[in-house]
Structure 1
Amino acid sequence: MGTAIEWTDAVWNPVTGCSKVSEGCRNCYAFGLHDMRRKALLEGKKLPKQYAKPFTEIQLFPDRLAAPFKWKKPKRVFVNSMADLFHKDVPDDFIWSVFDIMAKCQEHTFQILTKRPERMEAMLSGRYWRDLGTSTRPFFARIIKGEEREGDVPFLPNVWLGTSVENQKAADERVRHLLETPATVRFLSCEPLLGPVDLEFTAQFEHPDNEGYGVQAIKGIDWIIAGGESGTNARPLHSDWVEGLRDQCEEYGVPFFFKQWGEWVPFNQTDTFPGHKTESIKMGNITCWRVGKKKAGRLLDGQEWNQFPDGGERDASRT
């Protein structure tokens, strides 16, 4: 399924539903979208059956698992834009079924984003992907728990793993689990960004690369997405917060993608004064105006930031 999400080409939702776990979930777009469509369904409009149940009820759709086989062109695919694959109510076996499909669809790049990286780490650590492909059979792999054999790899090369980070508290709690999870690409989605995030030194924890003291977490991250919040109750994004992340990425050579300002735009990021009647809010040394997502745009310091870990930018021909 195509999507308007700027950093991916398609969404794939074999699971729907979620529950809120942190401040970044307060105005979750998926909750709002589901509730709106559920209301329309109850009013008699024809919509998919998933909207008959509350969003807090996890729903599995085995019939959607085969969808990637039908896509003819290579895509970047956001896995479960309307759910969290590692939610506690998603059975282990179903998660492995999703990974099995990804292993068999090497032409696509799958992007998994979770607010529950501790479960992701627990499930994926200590396991290896064994390539069982032959010259006469399409690539597929099997996950093996236990002893590693020659040719096994600790991750699928076409699967990117990420966690959501809305503020420093979330970074300190979640990044450690992401860094301990084997992956070909590890990324952060700092959207909605609700405060400054210092990834040069997060909370101290044990890690092979830091010898037990303040970890420079950004050295283990391959991509950072940042953006502001949109919607009726959106909170503003201070330009210092996103510039701080961008500057850390530039210093350490990490690709940076700025998705949007959201509902509000800081006065130092626009050349057009929206008028005195426009709602505004003071955030320290910055005033933010409420102009709507479209007018706020996605220029940071006068330019778009569309970097990807594979060196490419979004290509409309991939959709």
Structure 2
Amino acid sequence: MNNTRIDWCDSTWNPVTGCKGGCDYCYARSIANRFGGWTTGGVKTTQNFFSDPPVLDSPLLLERKSGKVVKAPYPFAFTPTFHRYRLEEPLKKRKGQNIFVGSMADLFGRWVPTKWIVEVLDICREAPQHNYLFLTKFPERYAELDHMALLPHEENFWYGATTTNVDQMEWAADSIGNLPKSCNTFLSIEPLVEDITCSIGWLSSMIQSSVPYFKWIIIGAMTGLGSESRQPCREWVEKIVEDAKNELSPFYPIPVFMKDNLRKVWGRDLIQEFPEKLEAQG
């Protein structure tokens, strides 16, 4: 597990890395490609000479230009890889943390074998002192796993959906709505690159037709190359906050967390709220 600059969690844990999503704004892909590779026979490579998809029971090594040898964090760059040797990392941290699971992957992507996911969830259950936060663009897979009795319902598991446009928003609501009411669910709108609200009341109507509702909303701007021309308008953010704080909603109020990268859009007085269950460790 690693400390992180992601402002809505305490640490990140990546037993699986890599993704086949192909998002043009993906920060993880650029990091994995930049720092990817491992050393074999004195030569650096990103080739996979192991199983397909690759499963590593022990880390591969990378020799840096300085001559220092380290564990290769992304031996095959952004190829989806199961680092099984990382599974026990949460067990070594006794103090509870809010852990973002899979910051360098989409753990619930269609290309990820179910058995990988199950192994990760089983370890989470063995370290109940932590809160585990998951994010995916394939929220329907939560429901599929739940149908197979493989999805934990404990209160320290938080299942999130990442959305950037209206279609993804509707799909996330429908998929999340198929989960049991006992599950904690949240929404990450990042990067916000268009007005996804369409009209005031979008969230309220979506929530009322979807059980369980989103118990937390995270909003963020695009960062990195090309992001300057794709920054959100303040009005888009205001609409989201307005619906989250709508007193007429049966789920009022929904905590909203604005990431630090929204300061240029919103100003210094960012709203950075946590759900009560995450506050103690947030």
Q: Would the TM-score normalized by the shorter structure come out above 0.5?
A: yes
Is 1:233 aligned with 2:231? no
Q: Which digits, 9 at most, give the CA deviation of each residue in 1:220-269, with x for residues without a partner? A: 1100000101112112111111111111111131011001345x934xx4
Q: How far, CA to CA, are the matches of 2:17 and 2:38 in structure 1?
A: 18
Contact 2:162 2:189 in 1 (8 A): yes
Q: How far, CA to CA, are the matches of 2:37 and 2:85 in structure 1?
A: 25
One-letter code aligned to 1:227: G
Mean Cα deviation higher: 106-115 or 253-262: 253-262
Is 1:110 aligned with 2:132? yes
Q: How far, CA to CA, are the matches of 1:179 and 1:218 in structure 2?
A: 5
In structure 2, the residue corresponding to 1:230 is in which secondary structure?
A: coil
1:242 to 237, 243, 250: 237
Q: How far, CA to CA, are the matches of 2:9 and 2:239 in structure 1?
A: 24
In structure 2, the residue corresponding to 1:33 is in which secondary structure?
A: helix
Cα displacement (A) at 1:4: 0.9
1:177 is matched with 175
2:273 is matched with 307
Q: Unpaired runs of 5+ in structure 2? A: 45-62, 247-251
Instruction: For 1:16-35, list aligned pairs within 5 A.
Output: 16-20=17-21, 25-35=23-33
2:56 is matched with none
Cα displacement (A) at 1:126: 5.7
Residue 67 and residue 190 in structure 1: after superposition, are their counterparts in 2 closer, same or farther (change >3 A)? same
Q: Which has the larger radius of gyration?
A: 1
Is 1:49 aligned with 2:72? yes
Q: Unpaired runs of 5+ in structure 1? A: 128-142, 145-153, 203-208, 271-298
1:200 to 204, 217, 227: 204
Alignment coverage as a number of residue pairs: 243
One-letter code aligned to 2:164: E
1:162 is matched with 160
Residue 27 and residue 314 in structure 1: after superposition, are their counterparts in 2 closer, same or farther (change >3 A)? farther
Q: How far, CA to CA, are the matches of 1:17 and 1:49 in structure 2?
A: 14
Mean Cα deviation higher: 60-69 or 304-313: 304-313
Contact 1:227 1:261 in 2 (8 A): yes
Contact 1:166 1:190 in 2 (8 A): yes
Q: TM-score, normalised by structure 2?
A: 0.77
1:8 is matched with 9
Mean Cα deviation higher: 42-51 or 98-107: 42-51
Identity %: 30
Cα displacement (A) at 1:39: 7.7
Residue 48 and residue 157 in structure 1: after superposition, are their counterparts in 2 closer, same or farther (change >3 A)? same
Residue 51 and residue 244 in structure 1: after superposition, are their counterparts in 2 closer, same or farther (change >3 A)? same
Residue 96 and residue 218 in structure 1: after superposition, are their counterparts in 2 closer, same or farther (change >3 A)? closer
Q: How far, CA to CA, are the matches of 1:52 and 1:9 in structure 2?
A: 25
Q: How far, CA to CA, are the matches of 1:311 and 1:91 in structure 2?
A: 30
Residue 4 and residue 177 in structure 1: after superposition, are their counterparts in 2 closer, same or farther (change >3 A)? same
Q: How far, CA to CA, are the matches of 2:155 and 2:124 in structure 1?
A: 10
Cα displacement (A) at 1:200: 2.4
Q: How far, CA to CA, are the matches of 1:219 and 1:48 in structure 2?
A: 41
1:254 is matched with 254
Q: TM-score, normalised by structure 1?
A: 0.69
Root-mean-square deviation over aligned CA pairs:
2.7
Instruction: For 1:66-77, list aligned pairs within 5 A.
Output: 66-77=88-99
